[in-house]
């Protein structure tokens, strides 16, 4: 499927959409050619002559606006995670994150400033330096309070705790089952104070790009309102190194000025979230998630036991 002179739809994007979003993903892929053509015309855009980019959920087309301003057109399936993205980007207004230039609410289509996709934080060999970059970006992003109506960590935590008993019954390994149960216990201790900051939720080194106006900027938020400790997990799991977990956690909590016990509990919450998803989908638990829980326990002497 193509839009002449604009786009070939990447096969891997189509495969991911069908795998994760089933019929909705199939419909999204089928609609992409017309959607791209519509917004190229509506916003008076021209192809920039460089290849499109994509992740699991979105297609990103490098374009130029009528006045020559470089930009990217982001086409994505609108869902509960992506619907808050333009709201968050508008509130952050370029402070630590890519700027939003235009937005179509019904489809979730966005026009964003064009960053340098060839200069991704993931390409830098200094892993520790990359973790510190992420922590400093999070400090900027978390300075903004979440707006009313943003999906909330309190609701997510309540849902996780409600689903945990059924999931525990499906985990055959006793040690893994105990880790997941203790992660839930840690979340239960902090669930009544879920926080009110505007979180990114998915800030790892492939979601950080260089720009002319700033050394590094965040892209692709899946925003929610909550405690900053819930934002640490991606930098612990990305480029996973068991021996580095405690260093990364300590470095990020120091840069962000977080209460370590609360940050640890909400990081266990991310482990719990992933374990629930994997088990409910019939997949094995992620070894990295379990090891993160073990390493944080070893570095703190606190739950999970």
Q: Which residues pair with 63 in a beta bridge?
A: 47, 71
Name all contacts of 189-194 with Cβ < 8 Å and 24+ positions apart: 189/265, 190/227, 190/262, 190/265, 190/266, 190/269, 191/154, 191/157, 191/158, 191/161, 193/227, 193/262, 194/152, 194/153, 194/154, 194/157, 194/225, 194/226, 194/227
- In angstroms, the CA 263 to CA 227 distance is 8
Residue 287 belongs to what H/E stretch?
helix 287-300
User: Which tokens hold the place of 186?
Assistant: 């840690």
Among 238, 229, 235, 219, CA closest to 199: 229
Among candidate residues 64, 95, 202, 244, the one labeled active-site is 202
Is residue 122 classed exposed, middle or buried when 0-12, 13-18 and 19+ CB atoms within 10 A define those classes? middle
To the query of whether residue 202 is one of the catalytic residues in this protein, the response is yes
The helix (run of H) or strand (run of E) holding residue 253 is helix 245-256
Q: Sheet harboring 116-120: ordered strands across? A: 116-120, 208-210, 217-218
SS3 155: helix
Of 137, 153, 286, 176, give the one whose Cα is nearest residue 229. Answer: 153
Q: Which residue has the tokens 């606006």?
A: 65
The residues carrying an active-site annotation are 202
């Amino acid at each position: 499927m193509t839009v002449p002179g604009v786009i070939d739809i990447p096969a891997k994007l189509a495969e991911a959409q069908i795998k994760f979003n089933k019929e909705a993903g199939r419909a999204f892929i089928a609609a992409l050619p017309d959607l791209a053509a519509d917004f190229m015309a509506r916003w008076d855009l021209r192809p920039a002559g460089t290849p499109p980019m994509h992740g699991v959920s979105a297609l990103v087309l490098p374009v130029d606006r009528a006045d020559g301003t470089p930009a990217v057109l982001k086409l994505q399936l609108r869902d509960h995670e992506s619907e808050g993205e333009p709201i968050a980007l508008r509130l952050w207004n370029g402070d630590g994150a890519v700027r939003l230039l235009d937005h179509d609410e019904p489809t979730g289509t966005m026009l964003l400033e064009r960053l340098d996709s060839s200069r991704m934080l993931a390409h830098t060999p200094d892993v520790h330096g990359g973790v510190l970059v992420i922590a400093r970006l999070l400090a900027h992003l978390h300075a903004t309070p979440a707006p009313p109506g943003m999906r909330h960590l309190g609701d997510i935590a309540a849902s996780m705790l409600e689903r945990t008993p059924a999931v525990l019954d499906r985990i055959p390994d006793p040690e893994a089952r105990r880790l997941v149960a203790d992660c839930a216990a840690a979340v239960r201790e902090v669930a009544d104070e879920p926080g009110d900051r505007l979180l990114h939720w998915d800030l790892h080194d492939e979601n950080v790009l260089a720009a002319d106006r700033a050394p590094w900027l965040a892209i692709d938020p899946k925003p929610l309102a909550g405690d900053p400790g819930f934002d640490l997990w991606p930098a612990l799991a990305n480029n996973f190194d068991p021996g580095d977990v405690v260093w990364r956690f300590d470095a990020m909590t120091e840069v962000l000025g977080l209460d370590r016990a609360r940050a640890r509990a909400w990081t266990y919450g991310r482990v719990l979230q992933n374990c629930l998803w994997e088990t409910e989908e019939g997949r094995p638990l992620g070894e990295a998630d379990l090891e993160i829980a073990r390493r944080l326990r070893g570095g703190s002497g606190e739950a999970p036991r």
